[in-house]
Chain A
Amino acid sequence: MAEVKTREFVSASDSAMKDASLRRALRQVGGGFNEARLEAIEEVSWETWEEWREEARRTKIHALENLDYYLELLHDRVTAAGGHVHFARDASQANSIVAEIARSRNVKIATKSKSMVSEELDLNQSLEANGVEVYETDLGEYIIQLAGETPSHLVAPALHKTKEQVSELFHQELGVPLTDDIEEMARVARRVLREKFLSADLGISGANFLVAETGTLVIITNEGNGRLCTSAPRIHIGITGMEKVIPSLQDLAVFLRLLPRSATGQRLTSYVSMVTGPRRNDDEDGPEEFHLVLVDNGRSRLLADPDLREALYCIRCGACLNICPVYGKIGGHAYGWVYPGPIGAIVSPALVGLKEAKDLPHASSLCGACREVCPIRINIPRMLLHLRHRLAESPLETENATTTGERQAAQAYSWLMSNPAALSAAAKVGRLVQKPFVSGGKVSKRVPLPLVSKWTGGRDLPALPRQTFREMWAQGLESVAELRE
């Protein structure tokens, strides 16, 4: 499984915020993708959009509620089409399945199209350990692979890199001249990877959707690398999370309308490819073998939890990342694992353990924008609150985000706020005590405030005002006018 760095969230987000080129890139993403999304919705009308969302949500609820049935149907139909289906309980099992197919089929070179699940499994590393050369072929993923990094966005994995950095990377790794022409960089990738496609024995893809009724794997792409991966090599392995299954071919239509519009504002991506088993005898070309690897790896924990099950409805469009004020400031890497942003703050804790990722549910202002833009209307803020609640109530000290000090402070605050006399007395005492430390309406940074130091580290603590609202009220409105002057 991919390395888990979720414990470093606080320090990682702190340094991300100081990275000027990352912040520039993030501003582009937030604006660009989101504006394109709105334009694409307005074109079909908001009313239609809401109908689509409703239909998609209903389909996901139904599919997940009956996941065992649809997985069995999918298995039967893929098998009937001449493919093989393998079930993996966890990451290491999934990696072993792929390694075993590669070994027994004497695979030397594999090309891969974009797949977040393969990132989750750290599949490349596992294949390389088994002597297989693996090439990422999505341009963004290829850049990341050359740089030895991980994706920072669900849809645009290399958005944190500037064109100068990409040019330098290609120069170093591929020996091509430096350039500031992005088209030239794309041409270089086309040339280098075209050769790999044609010599690869194995093509690996993820899946955006799996259609149970017909046993079909669906991938949605723009570059054409997904088509090459599923067409040129003699073996195709599709690897994906078990939650991707939908009942029938006709259920697919609404998702094809929602996903590209939500992700990049496109009405449809350049390519939608639908794979049903290996090539048939009469076909001109296509892989001789088709394998589908269905991965649980913690998803059944989300399935079993009625409070969190809807996280499995996610279709990985990235719209919640593009709108999120937190993601917009810190980017994807700070989240410390494969799935960033608001939905990642729910999925990652479920897959790597809440204890391991206890900061993630707090990485949100609960503004609700993620829920507003989600094409499946996933109630992300509710689940984030639920996880916070679970952390606060956890009997395990190691999982417990609420310290005894915080608990006592919260109790004291709640008592104070429900006792007007005490509140008024406290305000008077507070004003006296703060006097030596106040300047310009703010409490000096030199004052140690252990309980709120995380908060005051990045912000000024405002001083208590000269008068409380209750005192103003008692004196009548004239005193407010005086204060203004």
Chain B
Amino acid sequence: MVEKQNLTSLGVPKDDFLDHVRRSLGRTHPVVPPPLHLPLTENLADLEGRAAAARERLEETRGELADRFEGTARARNWNVFRTSSAEESIGYITQLAGRLGISRAARADQPVFGELGVDSALRNTGVELFVAAHDESTSGPRVRDRIIESGLGITGADYAVAETGSVVVVPRQGLSRLVSLVPPVHLAIVRPKDLVESIDDVFLFRRLEYLRNGGDMGSYLNFITGPSRTADIEMKLVVGVHGPREVHLVLLA
């Protein structure tokens, strides 16, 4: 094992680099620019006010949002199953597992799974379900191996964006980066409260999270908009390169 040396700053020292940039701009001293849209140090109270107003707006238009999200998601090649019945949504998931003929599936550890009770239903159909969450027995490479072996990855959604038909996942404790990426099929469960109107809403809420947590909104965030795609050979569309070829949405609304 190579001893971990400190790699804090290789290359040009920061101040020299910035000084060169500054001189290229014809300045000799640092200048604080006036804010472009919003102050970068917006205070928490103001941001909370804006976020509360946005939440109210979303609450009022919930039904409309669900319709719009369903439409854009279908247009981006999600297979959408919309239902307000927990039973039907579980039925959809077990049927999908049956159609795919898989023996293993992996799911994230998010609150929506406690609300639905998918686990026993899947296990009853003979699928070995792995909950990709951190504990003593499943940590590290084992989590990864179990996800790789899975034919289906199931997650909730942190946000579902009506504007773009995207599911946004914010990987963290209980939500591996790989569950929605490595298995050939991904299924996301969207609750009404996950719905937002636009990508602006997502960034507003993330910004609030950032300020609330003293400057941390987590290490990763992914907008997922349909299956993995490429058109790199003769501009012919092929679905499913490195990510899932088939993606499903259970929309509980």
Contacts and interface: CB of A to CB of B under 8 A. Distances in A.
Same complex origin of A and B: yes
Interface of A: 25, 28-29, 32, 58-59, 62, 65-69, 71-73, 75, 77, 80-81, 84-89, 93-94, 96-97, 100-101, 104-106, 137-140, 143, 156-159, 161-163, 166, 182-183, 185-186, 189-190, 193-194, 197-198, 212-214, 222-225, 227-228, 230-232, 242, 247-253, 256-257, 264, 267-280, 282-286, 291, 293-294, 296, 300-301, 303-304
Contacts, number: 296
B45 interface: no
A223 B243 contact: yes
Contacts of B227: 270
Mostly helix, strand, loop or mixed at chain B's interface? loop
Contacts of B127: none
Interface in B149-196: 164-166, 171-178, 181-182
Interface stretch (B35-43, B79-87, B89-97, B111-119): B35-43
Given A71-B17, A71-B21, A293-B11, 8 more contacts: A59-B36, A65-B33, A80-B215, A87-B13, A89-B11, A157-B232, A159-B234, A224-B242
Interface string B12-44: 111011111111111100111101111010000
A189 B200 contact: no
A257 B163 CA distance: 10
Interface residues of B, number: 91
B148 interface: yes
Contacts of B226: 270
B232 A283 contact: no
B232 A140 contact: yes
Contacts of B216: 81, 276, 280
A30 B185 CA distance: 33
B176 A250 contact: no
B219 A137 contact: no
A276 B220 contact: yes
B124 interface: no
25 contacts: A58-B36, A69-B32, A77-B215, A139-B241, A159-B234, A163-B236, A182-B238, A198-B148, A230-B220, A248-B40, A249-B207, A251-B36, A252-B203, A253-B203, A267-B72, A268-B225, A269-B225, A270-B227, A270-B243, A276-B219, A279-B219, A279-B220, A283-B172, A284-B132, A304-B25
B31 A182 contact: no
A96 B18 contact: no
A224 B218 contact: no
Interface string B109-144: 000000000000000000000001110000000011
A400 B138 CA distance: 68
Contacts of A285: 143-144, 171, 176-178
Contact of A253 (B20, B182, B198, B230): B198
A62 B32 CA distance: 12
A267 B162 CA distance: 12
B11 A87 contact: yes
B51 interface: no
Given A101-B7, A274-B221, A186 B178 contact: no
Contacts of A66: 31, 33
Interface string B206-250: 110010000111111111111111111111101011111000000
A161 B219 contact: no
A283 B219 contact: yes
Contact of A87 (B17, B25, B143, B198): B17
A171 B220 CA distance: 38
A96 B134 contact: no
B76 A253 contact: no
A256 B5 CA distance: 38
B242 A89 contact: no
B109 to A, nearest CB: 9
A88 B219 contact: no
A272 B225 CA distance: 9
Point out which of B18, B25, B134, B232 has the most chain A C-beta atoms below 10 A from its C-beta: B232
Given A96-B10, A251-B36, A285-B177, A185 B233 contact: yes
Contacts of B143: 284-285
A51 B165 CA distance: 22
Given A271-B222, A283-B171, A86 B10 contact: yes
Nearest to B132: A284
A58 B217 CA distance: 27
